[in-house]
């Protein structure tokens, strides 16, 4: 029965003391294949409610009514395995809370019929009985959460698009309360573009996190942003305020231009593909690194709160798996994850920079070895036959305690001058790409004067196809301007900002007429 869907039905029956009505309701629940029924306002006393244990119903848990009002019950089918460990009932028949093991999984069933008046006191009393934050799914006003967002500088994108919609899933006008049902830590996987989707490794997991988690993570991320630039080397530009991917692209092209001369012994550029980078990091290593970077006990407690016995489940074809415990990884979708992963990877980058056995491309009295954008690592090495074995040993040693692994079959290398050849990287199973490779969405090749010719036509074709689709939409002039501002111009600016020289006039005219 593990992983079987449990069907739960909630029903305000408005009295079932009548035998005929009682029979019809139980029969209808059976026809709906109900496993657990939450019944409100059955009006039955304790003795009468025991009569509900009939036919398909195996267990009945009741907070009795007074014969004319209230009364709540939880009915459990004989088909499912449920073993209660604790039962709490309200003497006024307003709620019944049952904790136990459903299909061998610990769970708490709560059936509530709240009063129309005196809600604050009622909810306060009820919240003390509930654990694991259940009571925080219902609030009397959404304004406090919105105020927190304003103070933290957080923008709710959904709210901007839907300014007049309710903040929560459901608003009860009778009870004047807002409720929400969150999917907490539901993991989805997204297919990677231009990859073989028959292989599980070519899917990217994405954690869907609830609102309170995201707000807390955003608050931490805003605090970490203020200090991370002083902790991480300039070679790392991923998710750090004031640094851009174009900085690394421009630096890379300068180094490649210098290495194109025959002065350097067999220079190569190597792109390392991390194997599920964010999913492999060990928490013990992560918190040890954060502590050594100078994060105090209070800050570490805040970060550890995000990793305190988390549970996740996977949704496949509309079906949600049984929850399972997480023991490592930084979640993709969490705002803090890129920042702390950058810090977790910095010791490896420091070891590469400091190693005399790994030689880079010397330029301006600096040995350029590594360019990083989060987990995307690109190395520019000379003497690869000597440097690569030491590099791989260093990565393997680092992975023993951090969990970091390199997918060597997806790691690529290109020559940076005519005398570099595949024999110089034979010490590691790295794919040799003599015609160039792709880095940060840009096709790179040496010499660099052909970079725009490699990327420009494909970029213009992609922009034309997008604009062709958008022209069929009923967009205002302002809407068209926003499309160009948010989608088209950033793609063109990214290419231009990394180039050593501007493209020729014909290419610029082509871009102008396309827009």
The stretches in the chain having pLDDT less than 50 are: 1-2, 131-140, 167, 169, 178, 180-186
State the Cα–Cα distance between residues 270 and 415, nearest whole angstrom: 9
The CATH number given to whatever domain includes residue 100 is 3.60.10.10
Q: Are residues 108 and 234 in the same domain?
A: no
Residue 29 sits at the vertex; the CA angle it makes with 26 and 32, to the nearest 5 degrees, is 155
The parent domain of residue 304 ranges over 200-447
State the Cα–Cα distance between residues 143 and 237, nearest whole angstrom: 37
Closest CA to 43 of 10, 15, 23: 15
How many folded domains does the chain comprise?
A: 3
Q: Are residues 20 and 68 in the same domain?
A: yes
Q: Are residues 460 and 400 in the same domain?
A: no
Q: Are residues 292 and 366 in the same domain?
A: yes
Residues in Cβ contact with 489 at an 8 Å cutoff, skipping those fewer than 6 apart: none
- Number of Cβ within 10 Å of residue 280's Cβ equals 17
Residues in Cβ contact with 343 at an 8 Å cutoff, skipping those fewer than 6 apart: 228, 231, 232, 289, 290, 293
Note the pLDDT tens digit of each residue in 157-169. Answer: 555 555 665 545 4
Q: Are residues 436 and 495 in the same domain?
A: no
Reduced to 3 states (helix: H, G, I; strand: E, B; else coil), residue 442 is strand
Q: Are residues 273 and 418 in the same domain?
A: yes
What pTM value is reported for the model? 0.61
Structure tokens at 172: 């009860």
Residues in Cβ contact with 82 at an 8 Å cutoff, skipping those fewer than 6 apart: 59, 76, 100, 101, 102, 103
pLDDT of 269 = 93
State the Cα–Cα distance between residues 453 and 501, nearest whole angstrom: 12
Inter-CA distances, 385 with 266, 371, 390, 423, Å: 9, 20, 10, 8
pLDDT of 132 = 43
Q: Are residues 486 and 409 in the same domain?
A: no
Q: Are residues 434 and 495 in the same domain?
A: no
Q: Which residue has the tokens 């993991």?
A: 187
Q: Are residues 206 and 131 in the same domain?
A: no
Q: Are residues 337 and 429 in the same domain?
A: yes
Q: Are residues 302 and 433 in the same domain?
A: yes
Structure tokens at 78: 């004989």
pLDDT of 322 = 81
State the Cα–Cα distance between residues 171 and 323, nearest whole angstrom: 28
Closest CA to 381 of 243, 238, 252, 248: 252
Asked if the structure places residue 176 within a domain, the reply is: no
State the Cα–Cα distance between residues 390 and 357, nearest whole angstrom: 6
Q: DSSP string covering 189-223, please?
A: EEEPTTS-TTSGGGEEEEEE--HHHHHHHHHHHHH
pLDDT of 390 = 93
pLDDT of 121 = 73
């Amino acid at each position: 029965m593990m992983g079987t869907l449990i069907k739960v039905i909630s029903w305000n029956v408005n009295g079932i003391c009548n035998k005929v009505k009682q029979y019809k309701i139980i029969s209808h629940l059976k026809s709906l294949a109900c496993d657990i029924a939450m019944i409100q306002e059955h009006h039955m006393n304790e003795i009468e409610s025991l009569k509900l244990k009939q036919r398909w119903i195996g267990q009945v848990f009741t907070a009795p009514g007074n014969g004319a009002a209230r009364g709540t019950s939880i009915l459990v089918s004989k088909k499912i395995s449920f073993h209660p460990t604790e039962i709490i009932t309200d003497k006024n028949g307003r709620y019944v809370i049952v904790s136990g093991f459903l299909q061998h999984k610990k769970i708490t069933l709560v059936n509530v019929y709240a009063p129309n008046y005196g809600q604050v006191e009622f909810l306060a009393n009820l919240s003390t009985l509930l654990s694991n934050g259940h009571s925080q799914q219902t609030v009397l006003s959404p304004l406090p959460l919105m105020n927190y967002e304003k103070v933290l500088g957080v923008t709710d994108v959904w709210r901007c698009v839907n300014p007049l919609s309710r903040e929560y899933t459901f608003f009860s006008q009778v009870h004047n309360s807002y409720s929400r049902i969150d999917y907490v830590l539901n993991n989805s996987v997204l297919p990677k573009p231009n990859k073989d989707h028959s292989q599980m490794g070519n899917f990217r997991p994405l954690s869907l996190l609830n609102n309170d988690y995201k707000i807390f993570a955003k608050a931490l991320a805003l605090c970490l942003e203020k200090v991370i630039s002083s902790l991480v080397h300039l070679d790392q530009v991923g998710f750090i305020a004031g640094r851009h991917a174009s900085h690394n692209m421009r630096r890379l092209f300068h180094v490649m231009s210098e290495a194109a001369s025959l002065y350097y012994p067999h220079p190569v550029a190597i792109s390392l593909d991390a194997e599920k980078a964010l999913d492999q990091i060990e928490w013990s290593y992560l918190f040890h690194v954060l502590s050594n970077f100078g994060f105090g006990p209070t800050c570490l407690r805040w970060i550890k709160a995000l990793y305190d016995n988390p549970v996740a489940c996977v949704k496949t074809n509309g079906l949600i798996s049984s929850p399972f415990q997480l023991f490592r990884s930084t979640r993709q979708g969490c705002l803090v994850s890129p920042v702390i992963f950058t810090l977790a990877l910095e010791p490896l980058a420091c070891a590469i920079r400091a190693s005399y056995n790994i030689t880079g491309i010397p330029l301006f009295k600096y040995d350029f070895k590594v360019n990083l954008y989060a987990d995307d690592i690109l190395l520019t090495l000379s003497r690869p036959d000597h440097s690569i074995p030491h590099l791989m040993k260093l990565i393997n040693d680092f992975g023993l305690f951090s969990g970091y692994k390199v997918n060597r079959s997806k790691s690529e290398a290109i020559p940076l001058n005519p005398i570099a050849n595949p024999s110089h990287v034979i010490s590691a199973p790295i794919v040799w790409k003599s015609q160039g490779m792709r880095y940060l969405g840009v096709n790179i090749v040496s010499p660099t004067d052909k970079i725009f010719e490699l990327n420009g036509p494909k970029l213009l074709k992609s922009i034309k196809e997008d604009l062709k689709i958008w022209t069929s939409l009923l967009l205002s002039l302002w809407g068209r301007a926003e499309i160009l501002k948010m989608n088209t111009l950033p793609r063109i600016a990214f290419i231009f900002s990394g180039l050593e020289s501007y493209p020729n006039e014909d290419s610029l005219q082509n871009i102008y007429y396309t827009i």
